[in-house]
A and B are shown apart, each in its own frame.
Chain A
Amino acid sequence: MKNKVLYTINKSELDKLIGILQRDGYRVVGPTVRDGAITYEEIESVRQLPIGWTDSQSPGRYRLNRRNDDHLFGYVVGPHSLKKFFFPPKQRLFGIKRDGESGYIFEAHQPDPPRYAFLGVRACDLAAVGVQDRVFKQTMAEPYYAKARNDALFIAVNCTEPGGTCFCGSMGTGPRCSEGFDLALTELRTTFTVEVGTNKGRQLIEALEHETTDANTSHLVDLLMDNAAEHMGRTLDTEDLPDILLKNLSHDHWNEVAKRCMSCSNCTFACPTCFCSNVEDSTDLSGNHAERWRTWGSCFTLEFSYHTGGYSRSTPAARYRQWLTHKLANWHEQFGTSGCVGCGRCITWCPVGIDITKEATTIANDVKRSRANQEAKRLEEVGS
């Protein structure tokens, strides 16, 4: 948002900020280099940030490269979103023990989530948390999620250099952080400008050495944001998209994608908004203990649509269509928002590089073309 009051801090203040957060009992999570990628991990100091690194991303491909400067946040989003912190991939829900001949003891498993302070998260990450809030806080009341989420603090970073698979500009979620943050930084050469989003954020900035950003620098930040918005790696025209997709469930292109799609589920797990899970009960050899576990599930597995009578989505085409139409169309009806935030993770982390923007656009363009042809034909008939 333009014309907001910005503050400027020196880059050296960031370590102080991490120290304050730790002192306040936060577990600080930030980007760091691990196994050839930039992931969100617990960090203790600025030194663990990917200083001087950048990423190059394209469908099915991710590589780290050196930058020719020592920027702290000179890359975009990595394979992991914040999802794993609020909605863990594997969670025990409860246990049951036999008690005597006919009784049972029920043990609810409700661990206290850590208080997370997220450093360096991007506008698409924040938007994704907003989307998951609608699922886990508003539609269902998921206690672990709600607690972890309500206690969390977000120190976001505006993206000035979008990546090859980014399309937050099309989804209206970035590149500038507009909501959901306590502080939002923009990285310049030796300083950060800081926008304050909450009272907690204000307390933090007041604890740091700061000054009000001058008009020229504010203008520079606006220019950087405009420039980023114009350099998205990908675009997606969302106009009429839900309607087009839902009215073309038998389009040939679903089968064309299915020839490439491996139904491997990577897109759903990389996606920061996909929220499906499996619930599994287990017993032990003695037959005296049972547990219920919840794990991340995916609509790309056969099991997902298994019910009495078989699988309702037995073909890869049906499964890909389910995922894409849910994400870009049905989500609107279900949660009042798109399920896609344009982070591009499903494109980069698809092992065979299937591109949601390309597949949706192929169908949309084809449908628009044939609709236009029909309209032209109709007008011709009316005219004659």
Chain B
Amino acid sequence: MAENKKPKLAVYKFSSCDGCQLSILDLEDELLALTGAVEISFFLEARRKVQPGPYDIGLVEGSISTPEEAERIVQVRKECRHLVTIGACATSGGIQALKNWADVEEYKRIVYASPRYISTLDTASPVAAYVLVDFELRGCPVNKYQLVEVITALIAGRRPQIPTSPVCLECKRAGNICVMVAEGTPCLGPITQAGCGALCPTYGRGCYACFGPAESAAAEALCVHCEKSGTSKPAIVRMLRSFNGYLEPFKQVGDKYERQTVNN
């Protein structure tokens, strides 16, 4: 395939830590195949050269948390044929969405010497809250192999094979011993979308829900059980409000437990 016929890939950064972009550079064994399959036209973290749009595939990292970003994402949408959001920030608002529960004005006063220079929105939101997104790839950070799968599928014109079922399926297929059952460790695996390969439970820790809620995640059923097994209500709120706390049903159940904490 001639160089100029290759699909053009653009990678954008919004409010984020760059970890998901780094996952692309971390594709050591696949990087040559990737550059063989797509033209990396815009990827400031990796390449100084910028080719003009429009682009065939746009990967967006980061949440929308400033007025400038809210405008820029509209432009990004316009210049990309397929817009794929990557990572917890871009798909749920990410860890910075914790400010959605806080008083942003108060934060500005406490954190910054001259708050008047700070231009920020009251909320950190997923990209899909602002523009139409063609595919959301979860994870904090994304799984690099899932990222390759999404790009491969878009090039081939097929649906990406990204399961929406819980981590438990990957965990059991790997032959892990359930940390909830064998150790009583609270684990968000049953309500978290697969994709990480059950990384934490494989090392004997509970799942932290980096990949956000699974399909029909029964967050309340899990929390009721954790509470019965000795996890406190405030701990349950903290469990749910991490990387993807602003996504439903984590938000709704977390809020419910917080109200109960306050009322107690």
Contacts and interface: CB of A to CB of B under 8 A. Distances in A.
Interface in A105-125: none
A361 interface: no
A176 interface: no
B221 A36 contact: no
Interface string B143-187: 000001101110110100101111011001111111011111001
Contacts of B34: 285
Contact of B166 (A37, A60, A264): A264
A284 B153 CA distance: 9
A34 interface: yes
A286 interface: yes
A371 B203 CA distance: 52
B225 interface: yes
B215 interface: yes
Given A262-B191, A264-B190, A303 B221 contact: no
A280 B181 contact: no
Interface residues of B, number: 45
Report the 6 A-B pairs with minimum CB-CB distance, sorted nearest first.
Answer: A264-B190, A269-B172, A89-B173, A262-B218, A352-B225, A285-B37
A84 B33 CA distance: 34
A280 B36 contact: no
Contacts of B172: 89, 265-266, 269-270, 296
Nearest to A350: B181
Given A266-B172, A302-B164, 7 more contacts: A261-B221, A262-B222, A266-B168, A285-B30, A285-B34, A287-B37, A351-B168
Contacts of A90: 173
B182 A62 contact: yes
Interface string A348-384: 1111110000000000000000000000000000000
A286 B37 contact: yes
Given A89-B175, A283-B152, A285-B34, A303 B163 contact: yes
B147 to A, nearest CB: 11
Given A263-B218, A296-B173, A303-B164, A351 B156 contact: no
Contact of A35 (B30, B152, B204): B204
Contact of B149 (A282, A296, A350): A282
A253 interface: no
A119 to B, nearest CB: 19
Nearest to B34: A285
B216 interface: yes
A316 interface: yes
B216 A352 contact: no
Contacts of A316: 216, 218
B195 interface: no
B94 interface: no
Given A89-B175, A90-B173, A260-B221, A61 B165 contact: no
A349 B178 CA distance: 7
A130 interface: no
Nearest to B186: A351
Given A285-B155, A296-B173, A79 B178 contact: yes
A286 B169 CA distance: 29
19 contacts: A62-B178, A62-B181, A79-B177, A79-B181, A80-B175, A261-B218, A262-B166, A262-B191, A262-B218, A265-B168, A265-B172, A280-B161, A284-B33, A295-B173, A296-B173, A298-B169, A301-B163, A352-B190, A352-B225
B189 interface: yes
Nearest to A348: B181
Nearest to B216: A263
B178 A287 contact: no
Most buried by A among B153, B161, B182: B182
Nearest to A351: B180
Given A260-B221, A316-B216, A352-B221, A285 B36 contact: yes
Contact of B183 (A36, A259, A282, A349): A36
B151 A285 contact: yes
Given A264-B189, A269-B172, A348-B181, A301 B165 contact: yes
Interface string A267-293: 001100000000010111111000000
Interface string B209-247: 000000111100110110000000000000000000000
A295 B174 CA distance: 11
Nearest to A301: B165
A264 B165 CA distance: 8
Interface in B13-47: 30, 33-34, 36-37
Interface string A52-67: 0000000011110000
B191 to A, nearest CB: 6
Nearest to B38: A285
A60 B221 CA distance: 13
A66 to B, nearest CB: 16
A34 B202 CA distance: 12
Nearest to A36: B182
A202 to B, nearest CB: 34
A278 B165 CA distance: 12
Most buried by B among A283, A351, A353: A351
Contact of B177 (A35, A295, A296, A303): A35
Given A264-B166, A352-B225, A301 B181 contact: no
Nearest to B149: A282
Nearest to A79: B177
B181 A61 contact: yes
A235 interface: no
A34 B177 CA distance: 8
A302 B213 CA distance: 14
Contact of A266 (B33, B178, B191): B178
A33 B150 CA distance: 39
Contacts of B177: 34-37, 39, 79
